[in-house]
Amino acid sequence: MRSDQGQPVRLSDYRVPDYLVDAVALDISLDRTATRVRSTLRLRPNPEGVAGAPLDLDGDELVATALRLDGAALDLALATPDRLTIAAPPAGPFVLEVETVIDPTANTKLMGLYRSGSAYCTQCEAEGFRRITYYLDRPDVLSVFTTRIEAERDDAPVLLGNGNPVEAGAVEGTGRHYAVWHDPHPKPSYLFAVVSGRLDALRGEFTTSEGRRVALAIWVEPGKVGQAGYALDALKRSMRWDEDAFGRAYDLDVFNVVAVSDFNMGAMENKGLNVFNDKYVLASPELATDADYAGIETVIAHEYFHNWTGNRITCRDWFQLSLKEGLTVFRDQEFSADQRSRPVKRIADVRVLRARQFAEDGGPMAHSVRPDSYSEINNFYTATIYEKGAEIIRMVRTLVGPDAFARGLQHYFDRFDGTAATVEDFLGCFAEASGRDLAPFFRWYVQAGTPRVTARTHHDAATRTLTLDLAQDTAPTPGQGEKLPFVVPLRFGLVLPDGAEQPVRTGEDDGLSDAELANDTIELATATRRIRFEDVEPGTIPSLLRDFSAPVRLVTDATDADLLTLMTHDTDAFNRWDAAQTVLSRLIIARVRDGGGDPEALRTVFAAVVRTGRHDPAFAAQVLALPSEGELAREIGRDVDPDAVHAAREAVRGAVGRMLAAEFRAVIAEGAAAGPYAPDAAGAGRRAFRNAALSLLAAGDPALGAAQARAQFDGADNMTDRVAALAVLSLIPGEAREAAFAAFYERHAAEPLVIDKWFALQASIPERSTVDRVRRLLGHPAFTLGVPNRVYALLGAFGANPTEFNRPDGAGYDLVADAVVTLDGRNPQVAARLLGAFRSWRLLEPGRRALAEAALKRIAAGPDLSADVREITSRSLG
C-alpha cells in the first residue's frame, strides 16, 4: 500500500498485513537537530497473511544507526531512507530493535517530529510515523505503545505522550529529565504523538458517567493561558454531550490538548494527546471573532469525538477515511446544533458544503467519498471525504429513522470496538438494525458527482390532484462516465398559499409508501418518479428537500412568487432561507445575462426579513448574506466572467442597501446598545445581523457606510465588530481604508492570528491593484512561507478572491502558481492545498480558461515536483 514513484495506490490491491505488532516500546531522546529514537517492536507473523513473507517496514527520509533482531545485530544496509526489509524473519514471534536519528529543526514538511515555536511536536496522520522510525505504517496494524521521552529539563520542561503517565524523573548527572507514558488501547501508528517544550497549561477536571476522574489540560505557549478558557469549556461540554447523545465515555485518566502555531491542517486526534493548530484553541473577545469561537467549539468537539469514531474504531485502510471523518463531522455538527441554533447551524453547514464540496464534485478533482485510488493520501482530506461523508450519515438517519439509527450505531460500537473497519462494516450495522437493504444506497460512497434533482408540478383543478414529476441525473466525473441513480431522501411538505400546511394524501397509483408518508420523506431511488397528491388546493407549493435532506442540486419550477411564499411561510427554516437564496440568485444571474432583474420586487419580503431579525437575528443574517460569487458562477455553469458576476452581485447588494437603508440604519443603531461581549450564540446572532446590515448599507451608500464602519471600528470592544467594520472599509477605495488597515496592524502586530485576518482581508479586495498589494505583503516582516496559517491567510485568501485570482490578464494565476512552486520544496501539503484555487478553472470564459491552464501546465512542468502537487496538477489538467 505505497505510492512509490507516483504509482497510485488502489483499494483493489488491499491485502492484510503479513506481520502484526503486539507491542511497541519507544525511547525518544529529544534534541533540536539530532533526536535519537530507539524502537523495540514485538512482532509475529499474521496467521491470516502470507507465511514466510519478507518483513517490509515503511520509512521516509530516515537514517538508521542500529538494527537488532532477537538481540543479534543486523547489517545497516538493510535500511534505506524509505524502507527496511528483512527477507526471511523468524516463523514465530520475534523482537526487532531499530535506532534512528532525525532532525526536527530541518523538518519543514511538518509531518513526523518537528519544532513549532518553543516546542517539539508530531503529526503522524496519515503517513508521518514513518518519518520517526521504520514501522508497518498502515491503519490496520494496531499495537500497544509505551513511550519514554527524554529532553533537556530547561529547554523542554513538559513531556507529553499518548495514554496515561507512568513515571517521570531526572536523568542522573545530566540536565535532562524523562517521562514514560503508556497507552493501553491498541492503536495504529497514525495516532501516535509526542509533545515537549516550554508550555503553560490551563487545567480542568471531568468525571465521566462511568465515574472516571479525568485530568484535563490545554497546553499553550507561555503567557497564553488566558486565551485557553473557551477551549477547555468546549472540551467539557463535548465530553458530556458524547455521553448523553451517543453513550460514549472517555477511557483514559488524562486528556491533553496542545496548541501549536505551525500546523498543516486544523487539528489531530492523537490518543489522549490532541494536537491543534492554535487558531482552533486560542480566543479572547479582543482577539477572536464569533466565527473563531464557533470554529474552536466545533474542532475541539470533532477531535474529542474521534476518540470513539476513529481511535477506538479506526479505518482498515485510507480509502475508508470517511468512515471516521464523515461520521465525526456528522457528530460535531450535531453537537454544535445542540449548543447553538439548529436551523442556523444547518444553513451554515450547507453553505460550506455548496461552496467547497459542490465545487470539488463539479471540477477535475471530483472523487467519491470512498475513492478507489490515490497517489498521495494527504490530498484526500477533502470536503468530499469530510462534508459529503457527513451528509451520507445524515441520509442514513433520515432513511432508517432515529431509532434504527441509534440501534445501528450501538451495534457498530459493540461489534467493531478495537478494530480497523470498513465503510461496508458500518453500513451493515444499519442494514441489520433497520432490516433494510442498503446496497443501492451504497452508491453514495462509490459514485462521485452531485446529483441534480428536477421537480415539475402540475395541478389539475378538476380532480384537485397535484402531480409531481421528479427526475435525477448526475454529470460524468473524471473516470466515471455513467452514473446509476442514487437513493435520494427528499423531506417535503405541501405549503398552501396562506402558509398553512396541506395534509398529504396520495392514491393507489403513483402514491407514497406508508413509511414515506410517516417520515414526510419521498425516496427517489430511480431516474424518474411520478407522485400524485390528492385533494390538493389550487396554488399549493411543494416544499422539497427540507432541512437539506440530501446533498443534491434541486431545480424546481417554482415561480418567484412561489419562492417568496415559501420564504415567508415555510415551516422549515432551511427552506425559508433557501427560497430567499434562489430568488436572489435568479435576480443576480438575470443581471449578468442581460442587465435585467429588479430588486424592487423584493422590498416587502426583505423588509419582513429585517423585522424577523428582531427575534431571530442569526437567521436573518443568513438571509441577508447573498449567494457567493462562487455559487453564482457554478449556477451559471459555463463561460463565466467573474467580473460580470461580481458587478451584478454588487449592484443587487447596493440596490437592497438603498431600498432598506432606513431599516438597516435602525438595526445598526439598536445593536450599538447591545451590552458587553459574550461569545454565545445569541450575542453572535445579534452581531451577525447588525454587521450584515452594515455591509448592505455601505454597498448602497459607500460614504455613509464608511462613516458608520469607521465609528464601529474605533468603538468596538470586540474583534467580531472590529473586523466586520474593517471588512466593510476594505471594499471602499481611498485613504480611510488604508488608515484603518494601518491602525489595525499597529494595534495587533504582536498577535499572528489577528494579523492573519489583516492579510486575508487585504488579499480579498476586489480591485486590480490587489495582486500588487499581495506581492508586496509577501515581503512584509510579519509574513513567512514557513507557517501554514500565514500562507493560508494571504495566498489562500487571494486564491479565493473571485475577480483578482481570475484577472483577465492571468497575473492572479501566476502569483499563486509561483507560490506553489516555491512552497513545494518546503512543504508539499501546503503547496497542494493552495492549488485548490484552481479547482473551478474549467467554468471560466475561454480567455481566462487558457491562462489558468497555462499556469497549471507551468507548475506541472517543473522539476522535482512532490507527489502531492503532481497529483493535483495532473488531475486538474487531465
Binding site for Zn ion (CB under 5 A): 325, 328
Residue 191 neighbours by CB under 8 Å, 6+ apart: 124, 125, 162, 269, 270, 271, 311, 314
We find the least distance from the C-beta atom of residue 789 to Zn ion, in angstroms, to be: 19
Catalytic residue, chosen from 99, 150, 297, 303, is 303
Per-residue binding letters, 819-848, with ligand ARG (x by CB under 6 A): ----------x-------------------
Judged by beta carbon, residue 104 or residue 617, the one nearer ligand ARG is 104
The binder of ligand ARG chosen from 63, 171, 249, 265 (CB under 6 A): 265
Task: Report in angstroms how near the CB of residue 867 gets to ligand ARG at its nearest.
Answer: 13
Rank residues 137 and 269 by Cβ distance to ligand ARG and give the closer one.
269
Cα(512)–Cα(523) distance, rounded to whole angstroms?
Answer: 9
- Stretch near ligand ARG under the rule CB under 6 A, chosen from 169-177, 267-275, 460-468, 472-480: 267-275
Task: Pick the closest to residue 183 from 214, 212, 211, 143 (CA basis).
Answer: 143
Among Zn ion, ligand ARG, none, residue 58 binds (CB under 5-8 Å by kind): none
Closest among 634, 561, 638, 569 to 601, alpha carbons compared: 561
Q: Is the CB of residue 220 less than 8 Å from the CB of residue 202?
A: yes
Q: What are phi and psi of 690, to 5 degrees?
A: -65, -40
Judge contact between 540 and 502, C-beta under 8 A.
yes
Distance, CA of 22 to CA of 24 (rounded, Å): 7
b vs e for 588-610, b when ≥16 Cβ sit within 10 Å of the residue's Cβ?
Answer: bbebbeeeebebeebeebbeebb
Binders of ligand ARG among 287-346, rule CB under 6 A?
302-303, 325
Question: How far apart (Å, rounded) are the C-alpha atoms in residues 651 and 641?
Answer: 16
328 or 840: CB nearest Zn ion: 328
Name the binder of 265 from Zn ion, ligand ARG, none, CB < 5-8 A by kind.
ligand ARG
Binders of ligand ARG in range 135-174 (CB under 6 A): none
Rounded Cα distance between 481 and 475, Å, is 8
Residue 37, contacted partner among ligand ARG, Zn ion, none, CB below 5-8 A by kind: none
User: Residue 685 class from Cβ within 10 Å (0-12 exposed, 13-18 middle, 19+ buried)?
Assistant: buried
Q: How far apart are CA 873 and CA 821, in angstroms?
A: 12
Is residue 197 within 8 Å of 220, Cβ to Cβ? no
Q: Whose CA is closest to 360, among 346, 381, 338, 341?
A: 381
Smallest distance from ligand ARG to CB 375, Å? 14
Q: Give the DSSP letter string of 639-689.
A: SB-HHHHHHHHHHHHHHHHHHTHHHHHHHHHHHTT--S---SHHHHHHHHH
Residues 6+ apart with CB under 8 A from 199: 118, 119, 158, 219, 220, 221, 222, 258
840: partner contacted, choices Zn ion, ligand ARG, none (Cβ within 5-8 A by kind): none
Residue 56 CB, nearest approach to ligand ARG (Å): 23
Closer CB to ligand ARG, 301 or 536, in the complex: 301
Burial group, residue 666, by CB count within 10 angstroms (0-12, 13-18, 19+): middle
Contacts of 780 by beta carbon, 8 Å cutoff, 6+ apart: none
CB-nearer residue toward ligand ARG: 549 or 827: 827
Smallest separation, CB 275 to ligand ARG (Å): 10
As measured in angstroms, the least distance from the Cβ of 593 to ligand ARG is: 41
Which residues, 6 or more positions from 735, have their beta carbon under 8 angstroms from its beta carbon?
none
The answer to whether the beta carbons of residues 19 and 88 sit under 8 Å apart is no
Return the amino acid letter for 873: T
| Size of interface with ligand ARG, in residues (CB under 6 A) | 14
- Nearer of residues 333 and 565 to Zn ion, judged by Cβ: 333
Q: Closest separation between CB of residue 331 and Zn ion, Å?
A: 10
- Of the ranges 247-255, 264-272, 652-660, 672-680, which one interacts with ligand ARG (CB under 6 A)? 264-272
Applying CB under 6 A, the span of 254-262, 265-273, 334-342, 813-821 interacting with ligand ARG comes to 265-273
Judging by DSSP bridges, how do beta strands 194-197 and 119-123 pair with one another?
antiparallel
- In the bound complex, what is the minimum distance in angstroms from residue 467's beta carbon to ligand ARG? 45
Give catalytic status of residue 303 as yes or no.
yes
Considering the complex, state which of residue 302 and residue 848 has its C-beta at the smaller distance from ligand ARG: 302
Q: Say which entry of ligand ARG, Zn ion, none residue 268 contacts (CB below 5 to 8 A, set by partner kind).
A: ligand ARG
- Between 126 and 681, whose beta carbon lies closer to ligand ARG? 126
Task: Name the nearest CA neighbour of 745 among 770, 786, 782, 800.
Answer: 782
Do 495 and 540 form a contact (C-beta atoms < 8 A)? yes
Contacts (CB under 6 A) with ligand ARG, residues 587-616: none
The distance of Cα 501 from the centroid of its chain, to the nearest Å, equals: 36
**634/623 Cα distance (integer angstroms):** 20
CB nearer to ligand ARG: give 335 or 689. 335
Query: 619 or 792: whose CB is closer to Zn ion?
Result: 792
We find the least distance from the C-beta atom of residue 685 to ligand ARG, in angstroms, to be 27
Q: Among ligand ARG, Zn ion, none, what binds residue 264 when CB lies within 5 to 8 Å by partner kind? A: ligand ARG
Tell me whether residue 328 or residue 801 sits nearer to Zn ion (CB atom). 328
- 146 forms bridges with which residues in the sheet? 25, 182
Between residues 276 and 416, which has the closer beta carbon with respect to ligand ARG?
276
> How near is the Cβ of 276 to ligand ARG at its closest, in Å?
10
Segment lying near ligand ARG (by CB under 6 A), choices 85-93, 261-269, 399-407, 812-820: 261-269
The contact mask relative to ligand ARG for 102-141 (x = CB under 6 A, - = no) is ---------------------x-xx---------------
Cβ atoms 582, 576 nearer than 8 A: no
Q: Is 381 in the site for ligand ARG (CB under 6 A)?
A: yes
The item of Zn ion, ligand ARG, none sharing an interface with residue 126, based on CB under 5 to 8 Å by kind, is ligand ARG
Instruction: Determine the interface stretch with ligand ARG among 14-22, 259-267, 478-486, 630-638 (rule: CB under 6 A).
Output: 259-267
Q: Could you tell me the CA-to-CA distances from 529 to 469, 472, 525, 540, 690 in Å, in that order? A: 6, 9, 8, 20, 44
Residues in contact with ligand ARG, shown as a per-residue x/- string from 845 to 864 under the rule CB under 6 A: --------------------
Q: Which is nearer to ligand ARG, 268 or 656 (CB)?
A: 268
Q: Quick one: DSSP state of residue 626? A: P
Least distance to ligand ARG, CB of residue 378, Å: 4
Instruction: Give me the least distance between CB of 2 and ligand ARG, in Å please.
Output: 16
Q: Which does 327 bind (CB under 5 to 8 A by kind): ligand ARG, Zn ion, none?
A: none
Residue among 196, 378, 450, 762 that touches ligand ARG (CB under 6 A): 378
Round to whole Å and give the CA distance between 117 and 158: 14
Instruction: Using the rule CB under 6 A, give the single segment among 201-209, 260-268, 731-739, 742-750 that binds ligand ARG.
Output: 260-268
User: At its nearest, how many Å lie between ligand ARG and the CB of residue 752?
Assistant: 21
| CB atoms near residue 492 (< 10 Å) | 23
CA-to-CA distance for 425 and 534, rounded, in angstroms?
41
Stretch that binds ligand ARG, among 262-270, 413-421, 632-640, 768-776 (CB under 6 A): 262-270
DSSP 8-state class, residue 524 = E
**Positive or negative: CA dihedral 501, 507, 511, 514:** positive
Q: Which helix (H) or strand (E) holds 291?
A: helix 290-305
Binding region for ligand ARG (CB under 6 A): 123, 125-126, 264-265, 267-269, 302-303, 325, 378, 381, 829
Q: Which residues are catalytic?
A: 303
